[in-house]
């Protein structure tokens, strides 16, 4: 049976391609979505982006009811959101945290991830390919295996 993967993107990721391309690359979020969809095989991909923390929590809760796994780039909320942490802990499906850059190699405040404590694993530092690696992991972790 085909898997359903929800990909949830946090604040400022709608600015990819123009926002600090030396850090985040030149691909837009739409480019990344197309790349993931092209690599998803028969999996259904549900793609979300919001700059609002509460909307991200709603997306996670919805995924918990209808998806087999989550791929999450919480962006700046990585370092501060107890609400996202709690939402991830409340859903019965695996979640993979992804980041375009390598937070551990950046500013000191970015080196701590509250979200990492609530996900199955984290992939970071591979640019847009972090999403492809996240997709591979999510498909393997999804209910029933990949």
Q: Which residues are catalytic?
A: 24, 99
73 annotated as ligand-binding? yes
Query: CB-based contacts of 30: which residues, under 8 Å, 6+ apart?
Result: none
Torsion from C-alpha of 128, 70, 99, 117, nearest 10 degrees: -160
6 annotated as ligand-binding? no
Q: Classify 12 in phi/psi space as left (phi over 0), alpha (psi -120 to 50) or beta.
A: left
100 annotated as ligand-binding? yes
Query: CB-based contacts of 46: which residues, under 8 Å, 6+ apart?
Result: 4, 5, 6, 7, 63, 67
User: How far is residue 144's CA from residue 113's CA, in Å, rounded to a whole number?
Assistant: 28
39 annotated as ligand-binding? no
68 annotated as ligand-binding? no
For residue 105, give both structure tokens: 């190699």
110 annotated as ligand-binding? yes
Binding-site residue numbers are: 73, 79, 86, 100-101, 110
Binding-site residue numbers for substrate are: 73, 79, 86, 100-101, 110
């Amino acid at each position: 049976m085909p898997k359903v993967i929800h990909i949830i993107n946090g604040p400022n990721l709608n600015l990819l391609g123009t926002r600090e391309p030396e850090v985040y690359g030149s691909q837009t979020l739409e480019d990344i979505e197309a790349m993931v969809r092209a690599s998803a095989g028969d999996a259904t991909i549900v793609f979300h982006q919001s700059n609002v923390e509460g909307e991200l929590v709603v997306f996670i809760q919805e995924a918990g009811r209808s998806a087999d796994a989550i791929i999450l780039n919480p962006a700046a909320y990585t370092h501060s959101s107890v609400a996202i942490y709690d939402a991830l802990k409340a859903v019965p499906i695996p979640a993979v945290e992804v980041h375009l850059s390598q937070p551990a190699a950046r500013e000191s405040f970015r080196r701590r991830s509250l979200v990492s404590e609530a996900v199955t694993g984290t992939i970071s530092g591979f640019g847009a390919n972090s999403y492809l690696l996240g997709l591979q992991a999510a498909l393997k972790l999804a209910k029933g295996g990949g």
